[in-house]
Amino acid sequence: MDLAYMAELPQKEFAERRKQLLTKMRTNSALLLFSEIEKRRNNDCTFPFRQDSYFWYLTGFNEPNAALLFVKTEQSEKAILFLRPRDPLLETWNGRRLGVERAPQTLEVNEAYSIDEFAIHLPKITENLTALYHVPALHLWGDKLLSESAVNFTEILDWRPIISEMRLIKSPNEIRLMQQAGQISALAHIKAMQETRPHRFEYEIEGEILHEFNRHGARFASYNSIVAGGDNACILHYTENDQPLKDGDLVLVDAGCEFAMYAGDITRTFPVNGKFSQAQREIYSLVLKAQKRAIELLVPGSSIKQVNDEVIRIKVQGLVELGILQGDVDELIEQKAYRQFYMHGLGHWLGLDVHDVGEYGEERSRTLAVGMVITVEPGLYISEEAEVPEQYKGIGVRIEDNLLMTEYGNKILTAAVPKEIEEIENLMGKSREFLKM
């Protein structure tokens, strides 16, 4: 499916971001960001290139070995790009380059120079400036270029707090792309449910998910997909995906696509054979109850911490009723007895990175605001070794959706994929009937 018409932000949006950043800089300062570089996979082969998210946010430029320099004085404000020059021979082998000559007009920057001449131009451009916004050790290749440039500043400042806060509130164009990332991710999870059956390998389901991403215009996943059958679901970041799926087990699928650089992030848990057992239903229903309540409460003016406190109470009450925890609910919460079964947070920022940037406040107490996008992902993980009633051992459940904070409350960007037990069983049952035809 060709979605190129909607997979790009207008260049004026990047220009507006640069303008906004310049207003936040001190007078008589420079700010320097470096792009990502190609990463070696093995011998002379590289991983597919993925631009640094901060660099992309301010340029929309998807080439390696580049630097973006902002200069602010009382007389002027400039955005200057250093990039690879055109090279017909190398471009024949490794792909086209924008080149220095075309960069100013194409990317709407003030000036452009060859990255090979960085050490020559930087001292001249930044002469008499006092402060440099720079993050050491973020890109070591860039640190080396900077050290070779023989520049001196009286003060080094961190630009991350400024740009991270800008990235935290999504523009209407960003929201459009994130809606598409959520929709494509949802379609892939539906496909995973339809294609799952006993004795298929976890990586086969991963392959179905990646194919569905590609089919709808998202070439890459936004993170390494988790397809965890049975007790593997109790490993939070399980990515081996190399085990056969067993009849009678649940499978936890945590996967999201990257569409136009923006991340989707969905988790669903469903039965390998298409039918929940009684014990699986009980744990799943408890997690779903907690997630539904969280979605009701996660609105502008609330906080992730505030809502997570409510989620914890729902879970502890439910675990006591099931006999998995014993004791007084308030005391168990005080003792954090739930941590053996729920050891992660309720959600995180989402955007260009799946774990996106921006301050959370102490214990994620920051007040949510219109334009933020977050995940909501309660879970329960009861390992085979847990001292619980036998029927609950080896059950891991997480249910995750993506929420956009709006002036009316929230909008679920990933609602297209089922999560009610009856909906999941009906979807999986119909796919099995189709296979028998």
Tell me which residues are annotated as active site: 44, 237, 254, 265, 344, 348, 355, 377, 381, 398, 400
> Angle at which helices 140-147 and 118-125 pack, to 10 degrees?
70
- Give the span between the Cα atoms of 63 and 67, in whole angstroms: 10
Strands (E), 211-359: 220-221, 226-229, 250-255, 257-259, 262-263, 266-271
State the Cα–Cα distance between residues 398 and 359, nearest whole angstrom. Answer: 25
Q: What are phi and psi of 207, to 5 degrees?
A: -65, -40
55 Cβ contact list (under 8 Å, min separation 6): 33, 34, 35, 36, 61, 66, 68
Number of neighbours of residue 354 by Cβ within 10 angstroms: 19
What's the CA gap between 100 and 103, in Å, rounded?
5
| Cβ contact 179:413 at 8 Å | yes
Packing angle of the helix pair 304-321, 278-297 (nearest 10 deg): 150
Cβ contacts of 94-102, under 8 Å, gap ≥ 24: 97/63, 98/61, 98/63
What distance in Å separates the CA atoms of residue 360 and residue 367, rounded to the nearest whole number? Answer: 9
Which tokens is 71 given? 């200069």
